[in-house]
Structure 1
Amino acid sequence: MTDEITLRQRLRLETAADHARVDGLFSQFDLTGPVGLGEFLSVSYLAYDCLGEVLQPYDGLVPPAPPLEDILADLSSLGRPRPDWLQRPSLSGIHPLGVIYVIAGSHLGGTILHQRWRASDDERVKGAGRFLTFLSDRACWSEFLRFLPSVNIGQMERNHVVESAKACFSLYETACRYVMKETAHGANRP
């Protein structure tokens, strides 16, 4: 077994619980209605706003640019304001490969979210699909998988990549809980 496969397996296995928590939170958003879609977009904006500072190329692998303008346009279509953190989380020292793993992987789930959004009969919701269309493009995941075998890093750096991916998932979880707490709809959630 090669180190590259070990890194991919480590990322998948050691972030599985973090990934499942975020998926569970995101599954609570009804993307076919303006409230649920607005909450989802708010979470995405808050997370990408923080990640914009650390979403950097790694050894030639260039992640997609944070789609903040698309998210803001979708929020505006729904009549929602730009969300802001009361206290912005810090991601200083995070390894870019761990962030790219989470962001690129989110495009796999983005395909499913895009399908859910397309099932809406609400014209306002249908007019707010820029970000979900962006998220349904799997090219960055394919690029990540092609790139990963070329990664030649030691154990300590692999640990840093895994911990950084976990921190990225934690950011999404924090943003979800923040939005759920801050919205009237979220006040009714468990």
Structure 2
Amino acid sequence: MSAVAELRRTTAASHDAVDAAFGAHDLSDAVAYRAFLIAHARALPAAEAAMAGLPFARTLAPRTPLLAADLAELGEAMPAPLPFVIDSDAARWGVLYVVEGSRLGGAMLAKQVSADLPHAYLAAVHPGGQWRTIRAAIDNAAAGQDADWHTQMIDGALATFALYRDSTV
């Protein structure tokens, strides 16, 4: 089984829980959309900082500046990020899986945002073929690694889903 398939399988319940938590926001409503962005702003900067420990991650365009710009257009400052400590490269690959995978859902969510609201953050999709490249990089990093490495990768992904879930409270 590929590492990406392993991540998808072992984190499905956590992914569903985060989708349910954020799915409660009516993104066409300015107040609900602001709350949605603030919650993301409590999680994304910490997650992007954690995954930046991987040289591969530094080749990907960060979305924190886009999120900050959208919030600024709504008259909001970036909130303090939640604490988030990731201490292994294996776990960072799990973080990267969640953060970069969220771009896919963001593209669909951007369609729900009213045209008069800023949506650069949600509209920041991968350039053509980049998600395939990311999945291959995760699989390559995991190839030949032992069970402990895979556990750490999964734990990193689960911790990232928990970070996003916790940002909604």
TM-score greater than 0.5 by the shorter chain: yes
- Asked if 2 retains the 8 angstrom alpha-carbon contact of 1:55 and 1:63, the reply is no
User: What's 1:103 paired with?
Assistant: 99
CA distance, structure 1, for counterparts of residue 163 and residue 59 of structure 2: 18
> Which structure has the greater CA radius of gyration?
1
CA distance, structure 1, for counterparts of residue 28 and residue 162 of structure 2: 26
- Asked if 2 retains the 8 angstrom alpha-carbon contact of 1:64 and 1:140, the reply is no
CA distance, structure 2, for counterparts of residue 55 and residue 14 of structure 1: 20
Could you tell me which of 125, 133, 137 is aligned with 2:126? Answer: 137
Q: Does 1:8 pair with 2:13?
A: no
User: What's 2:84 paired with?
Assistant: 90
CA displacement 1:42-64 (0-9 Å, x = unmatched) = 11111122123312254645463
5+ long unaligned stretches in structure 2 = none
User: What's 2:40 paired with?
Assistant: 44
TM-score with structure 1 length normalisation? 0.76
Q: Does 1:34 pair with 2:34?
A: no
User: What's 1:166 paired with?
Assistant: 158
* Identity fraction in percent: 26
CA distance, structure 1, for counterparts of residue 56 and residue 109 of structure 2: 29
CA distance, structure 2, for counterparts of residue 63 and residue 91 of structure 1: 21
CA distance, structure 1, for counterparts of residue 159 and residue 44 of structure 2: 13
Question: Could you say if the C-alpha distance between residues 81 and 60 of structure 1 is closer, same or farther in structure 2, counting changes exceeding 3 Å?
Answer: closer
CA distance, structure 1, for counterparts of residue 55 and residue 49 of structure 2: 17
Counterpart amino acid of residue 40 in structure 1:
F
- Asked if 1 retains the 8 angstrom alpha-carbon contact of 2:103 and 2:126, the reply is yes
User: What's 1:180 paired with?
Assistant: none
- SS of 1:52's equivalent? helix
Q: CA deviation at 1:31?
A: 1.2
User: What's 1:175 paired with?
Assistant: 167
- SS of 2:50's equivalent? coil
CA displacement 1:18-60 (0-9 Å, x = unmatched) = 0000000111111112111111111111112212331225464
Counterpart amino acid of residue 52 in structure 2:
Q
Question: Could you say if the C-alpha distance between residues 115 and 137 of structure 1 is closer, same or farther in structure 2, counting changes exceeding 3 Å?
Answer: farther
Question: Could you say if the C-alpha distance between residues 82 and 147 of structure 1 is closer, same or farther in structure 2, counting changes exceeding 3 Å?
Answer: closer
Q: Does 1:146 pair with 2:140?
A: no
TM-score with structure 2 length normalisation? 0.85
More deviation, 44-53/9-18 = 44-53
Question: Could you say if the C-alpha distance between residues 76 and 59 of structure 1 is closer, same or farther in structure 2, counting changes exceeding 3 Å?
Answer: closer
- Asked if 1 retains the 8 angstrom alpha-carbon contact of 2:46 and 2:83, the reply is yes
- Asked if 1 retains the 8 angstrom alpha-carbon contact of 2:86 and 2:92, the reply is no
